[in-house]
Amino acid sequence: MFMRKILMAMLIIFMFGSILSGCVKEKNNLPKDDIKVEEPDSSESVDEDTQNQITSTIKIFYGDATNEKIVSEDREITYSKDEDKYRVALEELIKGAKNTNFTSNINNDTKVLDTSIQGKDLVVNLSREFNSFAGSVAQIIAVGGVVNTMTQFDEVERVKILIEGEEFIGPSGQPRGFMEPFVSDPGQVVNKEVTLYFGDENATFVVGERRVINMNAHISQEDFIKVILEELILGPTQEGLSPTIPPNTKILTVKVENNIASINFSEEMHTNHWGGAAGEAMTIGSIVNTLTELNDIKKVKITVENEPLAIEHTVLEEPVSRNEEIIQR
C-alpha cells in the first residue's frame, strides 16, 4: 500500500514536469511576428541633437531707405556648438535685408572664407565679390554692417576685414585695419559743393564747374579727395567743356601730408590719354586746381603706378602748385 502511494506521487510529478516542458517549448516556438520587441524611444536622439543646437536672435545691420545711415533688423540664427557662429551671422548679413525699406550694400555672391578671433579682435576673410560697391557711401555702410553685426557678440571689440587673405583697402587706398563699432549714423550723407576744373573747347584754359556731391558726413580727408577725383574722371556736365582724365583711370592711393596731396593713378592715365602738350596741360591744371580749392591743400603730387606723371613733354617729379593763369575768368 505504501509503495503504491510512492509510485502514484512519482507519476504525478513526472506528468506535471512534462506539461511545464511543453509550455516552455511552445513559447519558444512562437512565430517571430508574435514576439514583441521594445523599440528605443526616438525622441531621446532628437532631444540630444536639439541640445547641440543654439538658437539666438541677433541684429543684422544694413543701410536705411536712402542709404544715409545704418539701421538694424532682428534675425534668428541657429548653429551647432561646433559651428562657426561668426560665419553663420555673416552669411545672414550677406543674404540681404528682409525689410524692403532697408538697403543691402553687400554683393550677395560674397562668400565667407573663414574667420578667426584673437583675444577681442575678430578677423573675417571674405571673397572678392565683397569688394564691389555702388560708391563710397555704399562701401562705408557695408563695412559698418559687417563691423556692427560682429561686435554685438560680447567677446568681439574690433573687426578686421580681409579680401581673400589680403587686407581690405578703403577708398583712400590705405588698409582699413581693425575697426571698432560704427556710430548709429556712420553713413549720414551730407551735400558738399565743390569746384571741378575741366578743359575749355580750345584746350587753352580750365573752366570751373560747380557740383554738389553727396558724401558721408564722417568721411576722411583722403576719402573726400578720392570722391572729388572720381567726379573729375566722370567728366563735365556743362556743354563746351572737355574731360581731362581718361575715363577708365583708377585712383590707386591718396595721401595728404604737410598740405601736399599725393595722388597715384592707374596706368590708364598714360595708356588711354589722348596726348599732346595742350592735353597734358589740361590734365595737370585740372587736377591741381581742383584739389587746391580745398583750404588745406597747397600742392599736388601726381604719379602713375608710383612713377612720375609723363604724358607728353613734362615729367612731374615734384609737387605742383595752383596755377591761376590757366583758369578762365
What tens digit of pLDDT does each residue of 155-195 get? 999 999 999 999 998 766 678 889 888 765 555 667 789 99
pLDDT tens, 186-231? Answer: 556 677 899 999 999 999 999 999 998 877 676 788 989 999 999 9
pLDDT in tens, 269-315: 999 999 999 999 999 999 999 999 999 999 999 999 999 999 988 89
3-state secondary structure of 210: strand
Give how far the C-alpha of residue 325 lies from the chain's centroid of Cα atoms, to the nearest Å. Answer: 45
pLDDT given for residue 16 in this prediction: 47
Please name the residue ranges forming H helices in the chain: 2-28, 42-51, 85-95, 136-150, 221-234, 268-271, 277-291
DSSP annotation string for 79-143: EETTS-HHHHHHHHHHH--SSTTSB--S-TT--EEEEEEETTEEEEEE-GGGS--SSHHHHHHHH
Rounded to whole angstroms, how far apart are CA atoms 74 and 93?
11
DSSP secondary structure letter of residue 219: -
Q: How far is CA 150 from the centre of its chain?
A: 12
Is residue 129 predicted with pLDDT exceeding 90?
Answer: yes
Cβ atoms of 85 and 124 within 8 Å: the answer is no
Which position has the higher pLDDT, 14 or 221?
221
Taking 90 as the threshold, does the pLDDT of residue 106 lie above it?
A: yes
Is 33's pLDDT higher than 60?
Answer: no
Assign 235 to helix, strand or coil.
coil
How much is the average pLDDT of 256-275? 95
Per-residue pLDDT, 215: 74
Is 226 within 8 Å of 251 (Cβ atoms)?
yes
Query: Which residues does 290 contact at the CB level (< 8 Å), separation at least 6?
Result: 194, 195, 196, 197, 228, 229, 232
**Residue (of 172, 104, 164) closest to 138 by Cα position:** 104
In tens, the pLDDT along 72-90 reads: 999 999 988 888 999 999 9
The reported pTM is 0.51
Tell me the C-alpha distance between 283 and 157, whole Å: 45
Q: How many other C-beta atoms can be found within 10 angstroms of the C-beta atom of residue 98?
A: 13
Q: Nearest CA to 159 among 131, 121, 125, 130?
A: 121
What per-residue confidence (pLDDT) applies to 187?
52
Task: Report the alpha-carbon distance of residue 287 to residue 269 in Å, rounded.
Answer: 12
The pLDDT value given to residue 54: 87
**% of the chain with per-residue pLDDT over 70:** 81
Q: For all residues of the chain together, what is the average pLDDT?
A: 84
Residue pointed to by grid coordinates 533688423 = 73
Q: All 3 cell numbers of residue 327? A: 583758369
pLDDT range class, residue 136, cuts 50, 70, 90: confident
